[in-house]
Structure 1
Amino acid sequence: MTEAMERPFSECRFYAFFSYSVPDDEGWNQWVSCFKDELFYSLPSRLRGIKLPPIHLCGDDPLVSGVLNERLEDNVRDSFSLFLFVHDNYLDSKWCLKELEYFRKHFGEDGFRYRLYVIAMSKDAIDTLTSRDAWKTICPFEGQLWMPFYQLAKPNRPVPIYSGDDNSAEGKRRVVSNAFWEAFVEIREGLADKIRQAATRSKQLVAPAPTEDSATVRIYIESNERQETYWESLGKQVTKSWDQLIASEHVEPSLYVRPTGLPMNEINSRPYLDDADGVVLLWDKKTSESLLAQITMVEGKLRGRTAAPCIIAYLMEPGGKPPEANRVSNWQVLKFEPDGQGGLHIADQDGTALVIFLTKVLERKRQRLLAGTEEPK
């Protein structure tokens, strides 16, 4: 095993080195930078008790003296892991190839096995890269693993990190898309496990990993059939109201809401919904009996001293009538209206009720955090 692989985690200056071409980041709405944001916001709560150094991103450490090659090699050597972000411009970057060479020099084959994360933003780009002689010369394995982060229908476009690919807002406030989140969590959890193991070997303070991000509030929103087009619009409404609530409550440390689409068939496959801080079911074309059956199913998955708050989102048709019932099985019904752009917004008369729902979510989250565990009792 190489010296770099055996180095104590506490001696690493960076826990990840991001190797990418700047035009690929700029050309896809700061995609790599937003990936960094999501790792920065969510990884620390998976490693409570372990002090994390920063991520090295291009431009974070401008060279003011010395030799560029030497500084670049030092930064790669002093990083715990290497992330490659592959799109068209990566293929033309000599510096990206040089970074990979430095990684192999210091981390050897074990580094490629355990500490290299290849993020494919484009299928054509990753296929081209892995077929090149230069790649085969550096990479010791013919079957080096890489993670697809491109759209299946448009394989040369990266999956949007945020719903609607809205990258204009502050990263920690955005609604993360399902397509990105599911693949991202696999990488995040793998990296967290490796850092935890390295910290344990070097006798660095380690606390048990939490079962859910301690700073993240997860609200599941049903996303079945045609309704799957609405959960992101609902998520944006929830996030907007949440931000207003957090600001008025002066919540410290900050808690960030993560609306997440959840198909009903996935609820069927889960024994419990222990990671839910709140649940939203959609009332669209369902009969009252069908909706009641789904409520019963969800309530059977919720555990803990205090069950997660739940509401029903009634999807209004243009010019349609509101539902006669304000509650179904003690679940409050909130009305959401078309916004004229294919999305939804909370009806004016129900805006306060949405804030009350989120206030209950906040209180439950605070109680769980004060108890020192995210596990139900």
Structure 2
Amino acid sequence: MSPLVRFRDCDHSVFVSYAHADNEVYGNWVSDFASELTKDLAAELARVPTGRAVLPPVHLSEDNGPLAGELSEQLKARVARSFAVVVVVGRHYVDSAWCGQELAYFQQAFGNAGLNGRLYIVALAQEPITLAAAKPVWRQVFAGRNPVWQTYFEDDAVARPVAVMRDDGKAPTQAFARRFDRLRDDLVGKIKADLGGAQPNPQATRLLIGVGAPELETAIAGFAASARAHEPSVALLDFAALDQRAQLAARLRDAERLVLPFHQGQPRMWAVAGGQLAVLLECWRKMGKPDEQVFALDLSEVPPTEPAEPEHLEWLAKLACPKLLPAALLTRLFPPAAPAVVGQAVAAAARPVRLYIESNRNEPWQWKLLGEQIRPLWQKLLDERQIHVPLNLRPSGLNIDEIDLFNLDDADGLILLWGQKEARSLLSQINLVEDRLTELAPAIVAYLSPPKPQAEQAVPALGWQVLRFQQQEAPPPKAVLPEQGDAIELTRFLNDVLDRTSRRHKLSPV
């Protein structure tokens, strides 16, 4: 697996994977899509210092020639040298083995980081979504994950996408532009962030688990799952990162604690005494990180495929950090809270409760107005339970256009706004959020009205409860108030947030 290619180094800004027959059946839809993407990227990046004399082109997979057979080395190189990939799924796409190979190679080249940040899936009709998801290559690539579909069709009964261009050919249709603008803006934002050196996830990783021998992967994954029960911000280091020192340094820089898994087997990097663990520890120390935050995970109960050579065992013997079995290391990293003393105030949580409220360009301030209504309800709950847990509303909201920059596992509660977006857009957004979560926190959708659904109407939101909020102009500034029937449900949601926080931080009432 390779690191994601930087925009300044890529050969193609976007690789568009599609079936040639879909382009023909839908009246050159893919070609028109690529043409609009090429023009818009040029316009959006015209004044951005890209370091390129010419903007990298958008590449259509059809240009590679054959439509079947094994993926050529030339095509693999084009995928690997593209900043992003757009997969256009029509009814002929699902029958194309060539298209499936392109998707599989993209995942092989860039892993989950590519699937999360550089892949866009465009659906031209409803039926191909179902058919594609049932394909073995699709299940293999996404491995239980829920890909986010961007639907470019209006009616499930009409097996055609919305038209790209108006009849006069002078501009895109409104139906197309409404969808296309979201994809373009997200891609442009990621390109600008990459050119500025921004990392896709700047939040600190509280626990980074290093690389062990191949036979230790199951045991390491089990330890990581147990650690996440105490602390969501746990990350596993990929072996490929050891060959990319800049990437490795970035991962270690953001980590607060480092775990080195070991047993009595030969390490992967056998040419260095101590193997990959020695490489990790050396890099950790060069960055000025303290040895006190390094721990060795003893997995000696796992039989080695090949016994370690003496120099590796000697390095382990000299390793000064604590060497603990999984259960003991979990206790060391996450000591149990001391029991509360009757009549004595309970200490606050290790960090404030984090309630993430969506913000976007259509509702830029509603998150803040909604937060102003939540604060007094939260304080009322704290007074009733006699617990001091400050509430932290993100100072800029949860910008849905920059969701890759947020570590959503840090969230104690999630609120998505439903104002101007369509129902399909809301469902896609819910999928986008849930795909970034290890464990779903209490979550609701705030329906901003007017207009509003009738009280007896059920609004589908994939299991997220929809609560209605009336936007009012008086008294100024404009307020977002829960409707009478849903105010109780809002309090119930905050109770769920507080209950979850109390369990995670082991809080007790005074």
TM-score (norm 2): 0.36
Q: Whose radius of gyration is greater, 1 or 2?
A: 2
Could you say which structure has the greater relative contact order, defined with CA pairs below 8 angstroms and 6 or more residues apart?
A: 1
Structure 1 length as normaliser, TM-score?
0.48
